[in-house]
Amino acid sequence: MFGRRSVAARSPRAASQRIGGARQPPRRSAGRRAVLVVLTGVLVSAVTLAIIEVGARARGYAPRRLAVRPEPPIHAPDPVLGWRPLPGHYTFGPYSSEAAPVQVTVRPDGARDAGSGPARGRPQVLLVGCSFTFGWAVSDDQTWAWRLQELRPDVEVVNHGVGGYSTYQALLTLEDLLNRGAPPPARVLYGFIDHSLRNVAAPLWLWALSFNPHTIATPYCTLDPDAHLVRHPPEAYPSLPLHQELASVAAIESAVLQRRAGNRQRMAERVTKLLLDEMAALCRQHGVGFSLVVLSIPKHVEATYVSFAEQHGIDVIDCNQQPTIDEIVPGEAHPNRVVHHRWGDCIAAALAQPDRLPPR
């Protein structure tokens, strides 16, 4: 009897039941520990992210969301220029409850309508520049280009200014227009504000562009070790998932850009001067007159660029205006029709001087 019980107890089935019965509790315990470890990890991660988010907001960072503006999309991405105007008629605004909507017309050639009508063989005055030349936030007939056309009906004013453009983008536009083989203009006018940060795609400028859903990336220039211009393709602000929800992600984007940009912002003034020199040289190469038109720039900055232009034989038309708060479009940040009118008068008077345009 004793021997049989001993053999039965040692049978494989009985042994497996006893072993299995003895190990079931440890397996359940291990599962609970695994769940506890996962939950602890999730909790620690959540707390860590919350601390990082609070710290980022305390340092002034905020989620990066696209700006909502009262303007339709009028630009298309471009692999060279960054963006270019889309032909069509658009309604901007109104920018305030008291203001009327703004009417904007972009011709099939990408130029803003300046009221020039058919060319009819007249000498052409070609405008390049940024939103101050384009006439952002004012209607077609309120821009300085339109006013100049009114005062000089003997010429054809063609406005290729584009909102947000830099000196480099204006130069690229000019290169494209002059190399098409069409009859060259009689004169090129570059409407200048301080575009230096734009020319090197400084972090602050890329950050500003990142809020505009219609401008994606901007080309820029730097200097090589011999202080020569180096051209770069369009670059955009870094874009990471969740930047519209988390300030910490926006902070990471900023850090990435700062590291990528390096010290190129220190080159901004020198780069801008070299671009002005290239623009003037390009016009001379094509037998075209060129004028640097100072529109709105602090006086001490203006003196730097005007001095450079004079030393390099670049013609300057000084129409510098510092708009007052009453001369800004209400609800916007661009000059109103009054300032544009003054610019048009000033530029027309300058073009009446000898050697700037052919005789009437």
Report whether pLDDT(90) > 90: yes
- Spatial distance between the Cα atoms of 299 and 204, rounded to a whole number of angstroms: 22
| Beta bridge partner(s), residue 218 | 235
| Beta bridge partner(s), residue 230 | 222
Over residues 83-104, the mean pLDDT reads 94
Q: Please report the pLDDT score of residue 66 as a whole number.
A: 72
Which of 24-33, 153-162, 260-269 is predicted least confidently? 24-33
Over residues 188-199, the mean pLDDT reads 97
Taking the domains of the chain in order of start, what are their residue ranges? Answer: 2-58, 75-351
Query: Which has more confidence, 310 or 5?
Result: 310
CATH of 75-351, one of 3.90.1010.10, 2.60.120.620, 3.40.50.1110, 3.40.50.2020: 3.40.50.1110
* pLDDT interval class at 59 (50, 70, 90): confident
Over residues 295-321, the mean pLDDT reads 96
Q: Please report the pLDDT score of residue 338 as a whole number.
A: 97
CB distance 131 to 164 below 8 Å: yes
Report whether pLDDT(19) > 70: no
Over residues 308-335, the mean pLDDT reads 96
Report which secondary-structure segment, H or E, holds 291. strand 289-296
* pLDDT interval class at 257 (50, 70, 90): confident
Amino acid identity, position 6:
S
Report whether pLDDT(110) > 80: yes
Query: Which has more confidence, 56 or 209?
Result: 209
**Stated pTM of the model:** 0.84
* pLDDT interval class at 25 (50, 70, 90): low
Task: Give the tens place of pLDDT for each residue, 325-339.
Answer: 999 999 999 999 999
Sequence-separated (6 or more) residues with CB below 8 Å from residue 356: 187, 289, 291, 315, 350
Task: Give the tens place of pLDDT for each residue, 133-182.
Answer: 999 999 999 999 999 999 999 999 999 999 999 999 999 999 999 998 88
Q: Please report the pLDDT score of residue 2 as a whole number.
A: 43
Over residues 177-206, the mean pLDDT reads 94
CA distances from 49 to 56, 240, 257, 268 (A): 10, 16, 22, 37
**How many CB atoms are located within 10 Å of the residue 214 CB?**
18
Percent residues over pLDDT 70 in the chain: 89
Q: Please report the pLDDT score of residue 128 as a whole number.
A: 98
Q: Please report the pLDDT score of residue 247 as a whole number.
A: 73
- Spatial distance between the Cα atoms of 133 and 101, rounded to a whole number of angstroms: 19
Q: Please report the pLDDT score of residue 78 as a whole number.
A: 95
| Beta bridge partner(s), residue 235 | 218
Query: Which has more confidence, 166 or 14?
Result: 166
